[in-house]
Amino acid sequence: MFSSLNIRIGFFLAKRQIRRSNKWTTVLIIFVMFFTFINLVVVSGILVGLLQGAIDAVRSHYTSDVIISTLSNKTYIENSPEIINIVKSLPQVEGMSARYLEGGTLEANYKTRISEKEKANTAAASITGIDPVAENNVTNISKFIVEGEYLTPFDYDQVLLGAYLDKKYLPIESPGFSTLENVAPGVKIRIKVAGVEREVTIKGIIKAKVDEVSMRVFMVDSQLRSIIGRNDYNVDEISIKLKSGVDPAVVRDILKRNGVDRVAKVQTYTDAQPKFIKDMIDTFSLLGNMLSSIGLVVASITIFIVIFINAITRRKFIGILKGIGIDEKAIELSYIFQSFFYALCGSIVGIVILYAFLQPAIAAHPIDFPFSDGILVAPISGTMFRVGLLMVTTIIAGFIPARLIVRKNTLDSILGRN
Amino acid sequence: MIRVKNLKKSFKDGEKTTEVLKGMDLVVQNGEFVAIMGRSGAGKSTFLYQISLLDEPTSGEIFIDEKDTHSMSVTEKTYFRLSQLGYIFQDYALLPEMTALENVALPLLMQNMPEKKAYEKAKEHLTKVGLGNRLDNLSSQLSGGEQQRVSIARAIAHDPKILFADEPTANLDNESSQVIMNILKELHAEGQTIIMITHENEFSKFAERIIHLDDGKIVGEERP
């Protein structure tokens, strides 16, 4: 069918047609192919990146690479000091942060409330005791302070308030969910945890696109320990930051081999992802592919029209080619090569712009979505698959109109008869 | 040798059928130069298209070197045209995106000739028609006469058995027409079989036999 001779002649014809075609038309077609490629890769890449941004944020600012947490039937991690010593002894570990967690309530208007009948402005929160320095080394949460200052190890009766506990930052009225009003750094609030009430001063408001940061109240670990009477130093969470290049699964397995999993959950950041996040990634990916396929159809139609118009305006020359004995298949191949050329150029321009500019730019300046800092996820394998898809679609879209014109009667084509 | 027997061609337009060729018989010997003449609508071009295998007759037989062309498939006819026949069209029919050299080399390349040899042969034939200095020019950069000379070079580059020329001087001035006719004369002198359509008496005299057509039939022939 497509013999090597036909391929050679097809290439010969295509090369000359492209070389001598209108440069602006060629640029325009390549431009369309470029945008199709971008549409194919970027739409799904942004949709997946929107979630990937959230996942990355949880990893960077909460779980870190490996997280050890309380078993579901326990109130804390037993033998925490021993576990902490094991973690510290691992050469792969760069840093770790141990946290105490206790559910509690916050009250803001207790000083201004005139009567007992007036409703207390309260909010439920997870009170988190941290070593401010260790925590910041692992999760770098100090950069999320939007008002006031970050904690120091010597802060007494001072807390960081998660922004989503402040009505100013989360102005929603929802049954069963309440936030504090008129709070700011310097304002005193009352916390009630493990039956103990204490008045503390808000030192800062912290706001990140990670609920485990923005919906918690942070205080220095020694103080929370004294409030809840946790004198055995058993903690509730240990986030472990690994050295660059270390596979979290390796450290998880080491910890499990040391028996840590008998008293706590040991998970990598991916293990700790809720299943719905994984389902959402698949859903968004599917959605992205559906949207991209529309782009693919548009590209096919564009190429179809371009090649059809090209072939129909060159019908006389196609007739002459057939008349002087050029094989129909060689002529069809010339159009396939032209379609391939447009798709290839569009894809190459797209790949260069994607990986040299777009992806690094979005990584440096993530898209500010309400619940995540969206990045552009475009793995090379996926991109190459889409390039292949674009090529195949374009080749088919180029072949069909070429075939329609080439199969017409030779003499009718030469004479321009219908 | 080309032998045509009871050749008929008719066109259908809805219910109406127009018979353009009404049973023609002709024999052209190898090495002959035949001119076909007739008034407009006589069927000259239609006759040429049938015997040059560019079109399919309604009925009748065409033998080229005793090979029955009716039994050939479309692909066989295409290859036959490529290897055995040469065409000179009234409007030159050059491919605008190709240089003179490429236009001539293309049918040679299609015959699987190595690229270097094809270009050498194309150059040789363009030089023969006096265009050795216009090899890299596009058709748009050539005059009408030069374009027709490229067309002749393309038609003869593969040494065809029969050269068909459809009013090759119709679009040219007298001077260019003379050049073209002299080239055809030279080719004939070298033994090339030529079948040419013309409506100019002056140029029909270059042929050794003139066939007169009228109303789809051969009405006479003469030897100038």
Tokens of A284: 């968004």
Most confident of the ranges A202-206, B129-133, B175-179: A202-206
* Residue A140 or A280, more confident: A140
Residues A92 and A191 both lie in one domain: yes
Mean local confidence (pLDDT), A1-15 = 90
Instruction: Assess whether A260 and A280 both reside in one domain.
Output: no
Q: How confident is the model at residue A66 (pLDDT cuts 50, 70, 90)?
A: very high
Nearest alpha-carbon partner for B48 in B34, B59, B29 = B34
Q: Are residues A244 and A287 in the same domain?
A: no
Are residue A106 and residue A38 in the same domain, yes or no? no
Same-domain check for residues A297 and A320:
yes
What pLDDT shows up at residue A189? Answer: 94
Question: Position A338: which residue type?
Answer: Q
Q: What is the pTM of this model?
A: 0.77
Is B160 exposed, middle or buried, given 0-12, 13-18 or 19+ CB atoms closer than 10 A? buried
Mean pLDDT, all residues of chain A: 90
pLDDT tens sequence across A352-410? 999 999 999 999 999 888 878 888 988 899 889 988 988 998 889 889 998 998 998 89
Same domain, A122 and A183: yes
Q: What percent of chain A has pLDDT over 90?
A: 58
CB count in 10 Å sphere of residue B74: 12
The whole-angstrom separation of Cα A81 and Cα A230 is 13
Report pLDDT for B117.
96
Contacting A with CB below 8 Å, chain B residues are 49, 54-55, 75, 78-83, 85, 87, 89, 93, 95-98, 102, 106-107, 109-110, 112, 138, 154
Q: Are A150 and A132 in contact (CB under 8 A)?
A: yes
CATH superfamily of this structure's domain B2-41+57-222:
P-loop containing nucleotide triphosphate hydrolases (3.40.50.300)
- Claim to verify: residue A101 and residue A231 sit in the same structural domain: yes
Quick one: pLDDT at residue A221?
A: 94
How many domains, chain A?
2
Q: Which residue of A has its CA nearest to B154?
A: A324
Query: Can you give the length of chain A in residues?
Result: 418
- B110·A16 Cβ contact <8 A: no
A31 shares its domain with A158? no
> Which residues of chain B neighbour A318 with C-beta distances below 8 Å?
none
Enumerate residues 6+ apart whose C-beta is below 8 A from A390: A33, A36, A37, A40, A296, A299, A343, A346, A347
Report the pLDDT value the prediction gives residue A1, as an integer from 0 to 100: 63
- Chain A residues with beta carbon closer than 8 angstroms to that of B75: 327
Taking the mean position of all CA atoms in its chain, how far away is CA B161? 11
Beta strands, E only, B29-107: 33-38, 59-64, 67-68, 85-88
- Give the DSSP letter string of B182-207: HHHHHHHHTT-EEEEE---HHHHTTS
Q: How confident is the model at residue A37 (pLDDT cuts 50, 70, 90)?
A: confident
**pLDDT by residue (tens digit) across A309-332?**
888 888 999 999 999 999 999 999
| A228-247: burial string, b at 16+ Cβ within 10 Å, e else | bebeeebbbbbbbbbeeebe
Q: Which residues from chain B sit within 8 angstroms of residue A315, using beta carbons?
A: none
Q: Are A296 and A36 in contact (CB under 8 A)?
A: yes
CA A76, distance to chain mean position in Å, is 32
Cα B172 off chain centre by: 17
ipTM of the complex: 0.91
* Nearest-10 Cα torsion for A113, A118, A124, A128: 10
Pick among A7, A22, A324 to test the B interface (most B CBs inside 10 A): A324
Kindly state whether residues A224 and A173 are assigned to the same domain.
Answer: yes
Judge whether B217 and B23 are in contact, CB under 8 Å. Answer: yes
Instruction: Give yes or no for residue A176 having a pLDDT over 80.
Output: no
Range of the domain at A191: 65-268
DSSP state of B54: S
Distance in angstroms (rounded) separating the CA atoms of residues B94 and B144: 11
Return the number of other C-beta atoms located less than 10 Å from residue B203's C-beta.
21
Closest C-alpha to A372, from A265, A293, A284? A284
Distances (CA, A) of A275 to A53, A73, A240, A282, B139: 17, 21, 22, 11, 68
User: What mean pLDDT do residues A134-154 have?
Assistant: 95
pLDDT given at position B98: 94
In a 3-state reduction of DSSP, which class is residue A32? helix
Question: Does residue A216 sit in the same domain as residue A337?
Answer: no
Q: Which residues pair with B165 in a beta bridge?
A: B88, B196
Q: Identify the pLDDT of residue B202.
A: 87
At A74-111, the pLDDT tens digits run: 989 999 999 999 999 999 999 999 999 999 999 988 87
Domain closes at, from A252, A268, A284: A268
Inform me whether the pLDDT recorded for A187 exceeds 90: yes
User: % helix / strand / coil in chain B, to the nearest 5?
Assistant: 35, 30, 35
Mean pLDDT of B121-133: 92
Please determine, for residue B147, whether its predicted confidence score (pLDDT) is greater than 90. Answer: yes
A296 and A157 together in one domain? no
From B99's Cα to the closest Cα of chain A, the distance in A is 9
Q: What is the pLDDT of residues B26-77, one digit of tens each?
A: 999 999 999 999 988 889 999 999 999 999 999 999 999 888 998 899 889 9
Separation of alpha carbons B168 and B180, rounded Å = 8
Q: What is the pLDDT of residue B189?
A: 93
